[in-house]
Chains A and B, each alone.
Chain A
């Protein structure tokens, strides 16, 4: 059974206490509520570790089994969510190791080359009149509401999202699609604010560029 993470002892929040008691009593309604609230985030996190949606779903199912069978051993020294995600990430790392994808999850390695948000060729160079300012500036997205809501634009965005590096896709998914706060994501995943922000920045920058390519293309 997954030991509870080593965090400062704290009394369980009231809602955690009620949820744990309900799970121990086999309350299916309480379980379904927790499952529905947690599943999207768990799936996005698991998917960052493994090569397919199917394996990510398997990891989430294994995690839920571990939670309901091990709930009597939860002592409340950490938040319930923290415990759940520690089980999840350990299950994910086990699968990831089998896939030989053992990359440290929380690491945005200092050696990672800086990924510019915009192609440097779009800015004026040192020997130009205004170094660092736009050479090829961004154009307003005309009538963005209409085009961005189009099915084709949405498909283009989804395709670009699927191509993001795993951790960028996960953070963009958690923050911008599921709507979790930076604090929640950092707390549950053990990320620093800076690492989380770098991943979010790089992911959003790639997606903006992909949408710009699509929206600036001449209409067929």
Chain B
């Protein structure tokens, strides 16, 4: 499905005074983890933030990623079983003065 609408919700790049080295949407989706981790270099972070000001679709993408991470957190931690009896036995032997 090809969307021929302008990418930035009706606005053109020139209206925003963007240079040709702005981040594209395809580039942004590869940078999104570094963006969340605050691991982007300053200039790239600037370009990403400028892109998000203009591109509601990439904002949707960010929100989808955030929702994905939030849902993972809701799955809850790995179940922790009781410690094995064999290991507890070693501890009890230590308490009793064994090796």
A residues adjacent to B (C-beta < 8 A): 23-28, 31-32, 35-36, 39-40, 43-44, 57, 61, 64-65, 68-69, 116-118, 120, 123-124, 128-141, 144, 148-149, 153-154, 157-158, 161, 172-173, 176-179, 182, 193, 197, 200-201, 204-205, 207-208, 211-212
Contact = CB atoms under 8 A, between A and B. Distances in A.
Contacts of B74: 148-149, 154
Nearest to A43: B78
The 10 closest A-B pairs by CB, nearest first: A132-B24, A26-B94, A26-B95, A133-B7, A137-B57, A40-B78, A201-B33, A176-B72, A123-B26, A132-B26
B24 A36 contact: no
B65 A177 contact: no
A178 B78 CA distance: 8
Interface residues of B, number: 51
B57 A138 contact: yes
Contacts of B14: none
A127 B67 CA distance: 34
Interface of B: 1-4, 6-7, 24-27, 29-30, 32-34, 37, 39, 55, 57-58, 60-61, 63-65, 67-78, 80-81, 83-84, 86-88, 90-96
A193 B77 contact: no
19 contacts: A39-B81, A44-B78, A61-B87, A64-B87, A117-B30, A118-B29, A132-B24, A133-B25, A134-B58, A138-B57, A138-B61, A153-B71, A154-B74, A157-B72, A161-B72, A176-B72, A177-B77, A193-B39, A197-B34
